[in-house]
Amino acid sequence: MLRNVNRQVNLMTARRQFSLLDKLITNADQALRTLVPGAATAERGSPASGCDYAEMTEDERKHAAGLMRINHTGEVCAQALYQGQALTAKLPEVRDSMEHAANEEIDHLVWCEERINDLGSHTSRLNPAFYAMSFGIGALAGKIGDSVSLGFVAATEEQVCNHLTKHLSRLPAQDEKSRAVILKMLDDEARHASTAIEAGGKHFPLPVKLGMTALSKVMTKATYRI
């Protein structure tokens, strides 16, 4: 019942015309929910909850936490990217698509944070900087045009899928909890990429994708430990 009420409220909100100030306040609220530990709430339960606890050495635990910290920061960037794009997207249906994807990414954000906590570690201290950078990129992409904005989503999700696939092979073999989270995230991210292209997203050329890969390497190296 509560979910149905929330959906109706969200639909009514979506039909409303918001001023730029309203949008900025909403984005500030979303930024706090993304960056403050424990502030976000997932709609779906974590895939890790159905897996048995496994013993790991201290080095294995730290390594798994480092990988999940990278994944968490990736979700922080995704939230900022989608919010920035929704702020400047021209077509209402594109804005709705951005906001829907951002809502699904919140689940990933919470799942990663929960797993990091289980491993006795912390989320990246660099998250505020990465959020600000990603928000700016998203807003710029949305300003250029909806096809570019959607294309950037597809290219970004492709990068995320590549990272997640690599992490599956790098996790400690017995860490089924982290593996379950990553597998579900991988499924969702691939769907987001396909949806963005089907909605009219532009296929980015290889040089642009290579530049995005180089930038993502900086993020992964920095957040693995910090």
Provide the annotated binding site: 75, 105, 108, 157, 189, 192
Ordered DSSP codes for the chain: -HHHHHHHHHHHHHHSPPPHHHHHHHHHHHHHHHHSTT----SS--GGGGS------HHHHHHHHHHHHHHHHHHHHHHHHHHHHHHH-SSHHHHHHHHHHHHHHHHHHHHHHHHHHHTT----TTHHHHHHHHHHHHHHHHHH-HHHHHHHHHHHHHHHHHHHHHHHHHS-TT-HHHHHHHHHHHHHHHHHHHHHHHTTPPPPPHHHHHHHHHHHHHHHHHHTT-
Annotated binding-site residues for Fe cation read 75, 105, 108, 157, 189, 192
**90 and 143 in contact (C-beta within 8 Å)?**
no
Phi-psi region of 91 (alpha: psi -120 to 50; beta: other; left: phi over 0): beta
